[in-house]
Amino acid sequence: MNLLHADAPFALAILGWLIVILAVAHAIGAVRHDFLPTSTAQHAWFAAIVITALLWALHVRSPVGMDFGLLGSALFALVFGRARAILGLMLALVLYTALDRGTWFNVGINGVVLAVTPAWLATALQRQIELRLPKNLFVFIIGNGLFVTLAATVCASALVLALSAVESTGATRLFGDHLAYSLLLAWGEALLSGMLFSALVVFTPHAVLTYRQDIYLPPRRPLS
């Protein structure tokens, strides 16, 4: 995103750091006793960090300086849960900033946009689906992998564009056009995430830490 290299306004950057520090501290406290319970989850978590950092490096920069691209943050949260997602996404942001030689002053506000906001939103929507919709595997996969990813990605992409506009002279006039392109890209990311999420649930369910087999695939009752 544009704020990887261009310094954010001082007050915005400090606010971002405060939010990120609180979110990371809360995440560490939430998972300190049972961080990654299986070797499969450990390998998947570390792989997701590297893949997400690479995904962010593939963003597109328009002539007016506003950036958009695939995020992957919502899928990260759906697979690993809110706390593990925030920690993993922040590590991905650190790796991304180091590899792309970005400014460390902006890590706080970038973390709010790329890690904290999509992780909180995705898991909040996931919780609402679990509470309000029928508990079956189809609803879990399609509702979370497709619709939750779409909603969280749209919100995160809009924030990315808004922050890019802060540092882009004359970009406000083209914000609507860029937002439209970003929405199209978010729909494509939702479709891709839905396919990946369904494959993970089917083939490696132990890697999806938000998946509860006792709810979505309870043991069948013996025939009388």
Q: How far is CA 102 from the centre of its chain?
A: 20
Q: Which residue has the higher pLDDT, 33 or 111?
A: 111
Q: Which residue has the higher pLDDT, 101 or 216?
A: 101
Q: Which residue has the higher pLDDT, 189 or 223?
A: 189
Q: Is it the case that residue 55 has pLDDT exceeding 70?
A: yes
pLDDT tens for each residue of 138-181: 889 999 989 999 999 988 888 877 777 766 554 556 667 777 77
d(CA 57, CA 53): 6
Confidence of residue 64 (pLDDT cuts 50, 70, 90): low
CATH architecture of 2-215: Orthogonal Bundle (1.10)
- Sign of the alpha-carbon torsion through 124, 127, 129, 132: negative
Q: Where are the domains of the chain?
A: 2-215
Q: Is it the case that residue 40 has pLDDT exceeding 80?
A: yes
- The rounded percent of the chain whose pLDDT value lies above 90 is 40
Residues with Cβ within 8 Å of residue 180, at least 6 apart in sequence: none
Full-model pTM: 0.88
Q: At what angle do helices 73-80 and 82-99 cross, to 10 degrees?
A: 140
Q: Which residue has the higher pLDDT, 181 or 124?
A: 124
Q: Is it the case that residue 85 has pLDDT exceeding 60?
A: yes
Confidence of residue 78 (pLDDT cuts 50, 70, 90): very high
Mean model confidence pLDDT for the chain = 84
